[in-house]
Chains A and B, each alone.
Chain A
């Protein structure tokens, strides 16, 4: 499937312009973009439901806007959003509607048609629902039925607009797994749009960004994670952060919201992450350290936008770094020690704990295993308990007054 100098829109109004796309059979292309960016318009134009404002869409060398709707429907099938009012039909009847471009005026199914319907229902795992009325289906089941209907058209290209909206995470995964199979195993050209960036990165062979009337194509989806236009379109350069390593999105805490007491968290190896998130939610300002730059806690803390005292990977904590952590104590109202595993490289974190006790700061040890590490220091056993002990924003205000 190929789009050249394609402008998509309604009537004269152009929504996305000068699109150059080349999609191969056996490839799953995922279209991402913020709301109202023109994803749907682009997909409908690719499916030849909308006429291109300019340019053309070719499939197997044929201009889709120049062939009969019947022939077109044998070549490209579309799954659109919304739940049409066909509640009275059975699943099998709906899937059989996919044979529309193949049957005669009375829509009587021949043996080939029946076979296509059966195969489509098998691929989407809806065979057992065949007698059910569409109105009784869950959203996930309905989506699979509509996909079966599209497959019954036996198209070369399958175009889906937001096939995972309103679905729970398991159904979302099922839909994308199915799409990947249709592309890789059955050799279809599959194009789907979605809001779920994480799904898009994980499943796309090719990633297409639609934003501000422009279309950006990335043959390597991972490259998109570094693209400035992409980050800007999704606001990933502001309050949201996308980590290129794990391709997951974290929210940066809002500076205005986090005016609460300042807490220093001594963490490492993932023991800090739940504490960071819980404290951020409650509006605490957080300093944390000493973390190594290859530590998962470092990763979480920096995507949350916390102040991190960090040491270079695989280096013992140096004196200068240690001093920076101690200095941070001066602006902290409390210290939390999350019992990280201690080894040769981060042994000075223990020293840091002793320093805070020496300074007389309120210090808490979070030990989720239940063991008591240090006599004489208050030990809590869950993040919830910790939150009860820490000074609240109100208490802090009273003190300053």
Chain B
């Protein structure tokens, strides 16, 4: 499924290219036309960026839903994505202003993004000890998200035109700006986060029984929680650096994965949710650039249009239990 959508993503675009030429170029059979090669390379990068972002968000969503025992947890809803972009905005403004960082220094941006995500996650964890219901947690997350977005807007408005332009790539939540130079550096960190995430399947299954029962089964509760927040922050930050805050993939992917696999075992759901997230992100990207070509819509608009109703349905369905 992911592979098919990957291919179709490379095939579809505002410049119409013959299918067989694209395929031949992709598989290295016939690399002739310079124009063709350039366009295809652009699309491959873009699609790769979409896949990585989607996988990250899917994995992070699965982990967060399990950690908070809440079907509505998602990096975007809990404000973690916006925390990441706030940190990126601060880094851009301060860094550019003081001359510490280059405009597109992905390492600095990534570090800032990860710290921002982690800080917001910790705040959400803190709030979740008070707000025990699903709705309470989601409200806390949404408010944190607004707070982050508000501060981000303030910073951007007050900063110079150059910085605003540099930042606009991220806030839109689109894969169109993807370049190897941005994707490549965050890749190892993202992969590290994903590797940790896959190992967290077992402890997260244990934590589903409640902290104390989990502890009696031999789960190292605090360690697992910290690792989960760290891994989720790491991949969410990577996704945000590449594509800006993209909503709802992190929410929808785990649900789709659970429905498809008919299990709640996190050892399977976390990777599956990653695959689903990747597929959803690519589909969203294809949709974003095919609805009104050559206009390129922000992917987050697409995911929001499909994702928001999903939340409403989930809320209505769980209304009796929250």
Indicate, yes or no, whether A interacts with B. yes
B215 touches A105 (CB 8 A): no
Q: Counting CB contacts under 8 A, is B125 at the interface?
A: no
A105 touches B216 (CB 8 A): no
Q: Which of A85-93, A120-128, A175-183 is the interface stretch? A: A85-93
Contacts of B201 in A (CB 8 A): 106-107
Chain B minimum-CB-distance residue to A104? B202
A80 touches B213 (CB 8 A): yes
B210 touches A153 (CB 8 A): no
B210 touches A100 (CB 8 A): no
How many angstroms from the CA of A106 to the CA of B215 in the assembled complex? Answer: 18
Q: Contact flags (1/0) for B196-216 with A, using CB distance below 8 Å?
A: 000101100110111011011
Chain B minimum-CB-distance residue to A150? B216
Contacts of A98 in B (CB 8 A): 217
Query: What are 17 A-to-B residue pairs whose CB atoms are below 8 Å?
Result: A47-B216, A49-B215, A49-B216, A72-B218, A73-B216, A76-B216, A78-B213, A84-B209, A86-B208, A89-B265, A97-B205, A97-B206, A100-B217, A100-B218, A100-B219, A150-B216, A153-B218
Chain A minimum-CB-distance residue to B221? A69
A49 touches B212 (CB 8 A): yes
Chain B minimum-CB-distance residue to A98? B217
Q: Counting CB contacts under 8 A, is B21 at the interface?
A: no
B218 touches A93 (CB 8 A): no
Choose among A74, A76, A77, A107 the residue with the greatest number of B CB atoms under 10 Å from its CB: A107
B-side interface size class: 20 to 34
How many angstroms from the CA of A121 to the CA of B304 in the assembled complex? Answer: 46
B210 touches A69 (CB 8 A): no
Contacts of B199 in A (CB 8 A): 105
How many angstroms from the CA of A201 to the CA of B130 in the assembled complex? Answer: 41
Q: Counting CB contacts under 8 A, is A274 at the interface?
A: no
Within 8 Å by CB of B212, from A80, A101, A107, lies A80
Contacts of B217 in A (CB 8 A): 73, 77, 97-98, 100-101, 149, 153
Q: Counting CB contacts under 8 A, is A44 at the interface?
A: yes
B252-273 residues with Cβ-Cβ distance < 8 A to A are 258, 263-265, 267
Q: Counting CB contacts under 8 A, is A13 at the interface?
A: no
Contacts A100-B202, A105-B202 given; does A88 touch B264 at CB 8 Å: yes
Contacts of B69 in A (CB 8 A): 85
Q: Counting CB contacts under 8 A, is A70 at the interface?
A: yes
B62-81 residues with Cβ-Cβ distance < 8 A to A are 69
Q: Counting CB contacts under 8 A, is A25 at the interface?
A: no
How many angstroms from the CA of A148 to the CA of B267 in the assembled complex? Answer: 22
B interface residue numbers (CB < 8 A to A): 69, 199, 201-202, 205-206, 208-210, 212-213, 215-220, 258, 263-265, 267
How many angstroms from the CA of A153 to the CA of B263 in the assembled complex? Answer: 23
Chain A minimum-CB-distance residue to B258? A88
B265 touches A101 (CB 8 A): no
Choose among A78, A82, A85, A103 the residue with the greatest number of B CB atoms under 10 Å from its CB: A85
A84 touches B216 (CB 8 A): no
Contacts of A101 in B (CB 8 A): 217-218
Contacts of B208 in A (CB 8 A): 84-86, 89
Q: Contact flags (1/0) for A111-138 with B, using CB distance below 8 Å?
A: 0000000000000000000000000000
Choose among A47, A69, A82, A149 the residue with the greatest number of B CB atoms under 10 Å from its CB: A69
Contacts of A69 in B (CB 8 A): 215, 218-220
How many angstroms from the CA of A70 to the CA of B217 in the assembled complex? Answer: 8
- Interface contacts beyond A69-B218, A77-B216: sample of 20 additional A-B pairs, CB < 8 Å, sorted by A: A47-B216, A48-B216, A70-B218, A73-B216, A73-B217, A78-B216, A80-B212, A84-B210, A84-B213, A85-B69, A86-B209, A86-B264, A88-B264, A89-B208, A100-B206, A100-B218, A105-B199, A107-B205, A150-B216, A153-B218
Contacts of A149 in B (CB 8 A): 217
Contacts of A103 in B (CB 8 A): 202
5 closest residue pairs by CB, A with B: A73-B218, A101-B218, A88-B264, A78-B216, A107-B202
How many angstroms from the CA of A390 to the CA of B186 in the assembled complex? Answer: 90
How many angstroms from the CA of A73 to the CA of B203 in the assembled complex? Answer: 14
Contacts of A77 in B (CB 8 A): 216-217
Contacts of B205 in A (CB 8 A): 97, 107
Within 8 Å by CB of B210, from A76, A80, A106, lies A80
Q: How far is the CB of A95 from chain B (nearest CB, A)?
A: 12
Contacts of B265 in A (CB 8 A): 89, 93
Chain B minimum-CB-distance residue to A102? B218
Q: How far is the CB of B292 from chain A (nearest CB, A)?
A: 40
Contacts of A44 in B (CB 8 A): 212
